[in-house]
Amino acid sequence: MSFRPRAVLGMLLWSMPPFADAQTAKYPVKPIRMVVGYAAGGGSDIMGRLIAQQMSEALGQQVVVENRAGAAQNIAAELVAKAPADGYTVFLSSAALGINVSLYPKLNYDPVKDFAPVAIFATSPNLLLVHPSFPAKNAREFIAVAKKNPGKLNFSSSGSGSSQHLSGEMLKIKIGVDMTHVPYKGSAPSMTALASGEVDFSFNNIPSAQPLMTPGRVRALAITSEKRSAMLPELPTMIEGGVAGFVTQTWYGVLVPAGTPPEIVNTLNSVIVKAVQKEDFRTRLAQTGADPIAESPDYFRRLLRDEIERWGKVVKASKAKPE
């Protein structure tokens, strides 16, 4: 007795899905690699290790953080984009994923097509900071000073193309005033420059600014989130200060290579969402100056597209270039 080729093919195709489903149902059966695009000790690394611990406990498999620093996380992004779509290599990304597509002339990956977003779990806004001697007590007064002194104010950042730099460029566009960008090699020297009076103002996140805010060496005028922060509830937003639509923030999220089975994406999303709902994890995020967020893969996908569009306009208008 013999089978016709078409019948054999049909039987093979029929038998494959249950096997694949069984493999997916067992996920994960081995450790998961979490690739972080920055060096150990930085914001992304800290966030990666915080969420990796939560994922390890929930999944019953170790989530191992691997630092692949360089090119504003492009090295790490390319590595994950080309990894097998099996859920065992994940990408801990920051907001740079939405910036780099406009900032760099050529990327070896597509931030939308090459990844399946899993979950964004934290956001960290910037603060508009000034030297204590600056003649403004809030964002409205700052804007008035800037408009009276076009081209005379300067601002520091942690480097060209950073969210701090582009926050300054966005402010220039929003209020229609030219100001000079002075890049430094990291947040620490950028803050030191502001505290010493080398520059007039800067944008930086809460953890980097707090050590200098407490002794009064720098002064915060506004926060760049859509709503006020629970850490600094008395500090108005830039929107409250009269700059419509001014929202800039660093976000932290987990993505996997495109083509990863939806069941695995949903499993990882569920684990991260449940972690964010835990009070102790939310407290740890708050201690870093970040706000917790628990949303779906679709929400993350929309956010990424919005970020690419938002920063694309700023990069084009400012002609910002990577260092």
Please say if the pLDDT value at position 7 is more than 60.
no
Please give the mean pLDDT across all residues of the chain: 91
Please say if the pLDDT value at position 8 is more than 80.
no
Distance in Å from the first CA to the final CA of the chain: 70
Please compute the mean of the pLDDT values over residues 53-75 and round it to a whole number.
95
Lowest mean pLDDT, pick from 111-115, 158-162, 181-185, 255-259? 158-162
Fold equal for 30-124+249-318 and 125-223: yes
Give the containing element (helix H, strand E) for 33: strand 32-36
Please compute the mean of the pLDDT values over residues 205-210 and round it to a whole number.
84
pLDDT in tens, 272-318: 999 999 999 999 998 888 889 999 999 999 999 999 999 999 999 98
Q: Where are the domains of the chain?
A: 30-124+249-318, 125-223
Contacts of residue 224, defined as CB under 8 A and 6 or more positions apart, other chains included, come to 125, 126, 127, 128, 167, 203, 237, 238, 246, 247, 248, 249
Cis amide bond preceding 28, omega within 30:
yes
What span, in angstroms and rounded, lies between the C-alpha atoms of 128 and 202?
6
**pLDDT confidence of 19, banded at 50, 70, 90?**
very low
**pLDDT confidence of 262, banded at 50, 70, 90?**
very high
**pLDDT confidence of 25, banded at 50, 70, 90?**
low
Please compute the mean of the pLDDT values over residues 190-216 and round it to a whole number.
92
Please say if the pLDDT value at position 210 is more than 90.
no
Q: What pLDDT sits at residue 3?
A: 38
pLDDT in tens, 131-143: 999 999 999 999 9
| String of DSSP letters for 101-114 | HHHSS--SS-TTTT
Q: What pLDDT sits at residue 21?
A: 55
Architecture of the domain delimited by 125-223? 3-Layer(aba) Sandwich (3.40)
- 30-124+249-318, what's its fold? D-Maltodextrin-Binding Protein; domain 2 (3.40.190)
Backbone angles phi, psi at 88, to 5 degrees: -100, 0
**pLDDT confidence of 11, banded at 50, 70, 90?**
very low
- Neighbour-count burial for 279-302, b at 16+ CB within 10 Å, e otherwise: eebbebbbebbbbbbbbebeebee
Please compute the mean of the pLDDT values over residues 161-190 and round it to a whole number.
92
Asked if residues 255 and 114 have their Cβ atoms less than 8 Å apart, the reply is no
Asked if residues 239 and 245 have their Cβ atoms less than 8 Å apart, the reply is yes
What span, in angstroms and rounded, lies between the C-alpha atoms of 167 and 170?
5
Please compute the mean of the pLDDT values over residues 96-109 and round it to a whole number.
95
DSSP code of residue 8: H
Q: Where are the alpha helices (DSSP H) in 241-296?
A: 262-276, 279-287
What span, in angstroms and rounded, lies between the C-alpha atoms of 121 and 48?
10
Bridge-based pairing of strands 89-93 and 249-257 is antiparallel
The CA-atom distances, in angstroms, between 314 and each of 127, 199, 308, 317 are 18, 22, 10, 5
Q: What pLDDT sits at residue 23?
A: 53
Lowest mean pLDDT, pick from 14-18, 194-198, 262-266, 315-319? 14-18
**pLDDT confidence of 185, banded at 50, 70, 90?**
confident
Looking at per-residue pLDDT, the higher value among 70 and 79 belongs to 79
Q: What pLDDT sits at residue 22?
A: 52
Please compute the mean of the pLDDT values over residues 93-100 and round it to a whole number.
94
Token couple for 236: 């108005």
SS3 201: strand
Token couple for 13: 């195709």
Task: Tell me which residue has tokens 């083509």.
Answer: 259
Token couple for 272: 């991260």
DSSP code of residue 288: T
Contacts of residue 192, defined as CB under 8 A and 6 or more positions apart, other chains included, come to none
The answer to whether the predicted template modeling score (pTM) of the entire model surpasses 0.85 is no
Percentage with pLDDT > 70 across the chain: 92
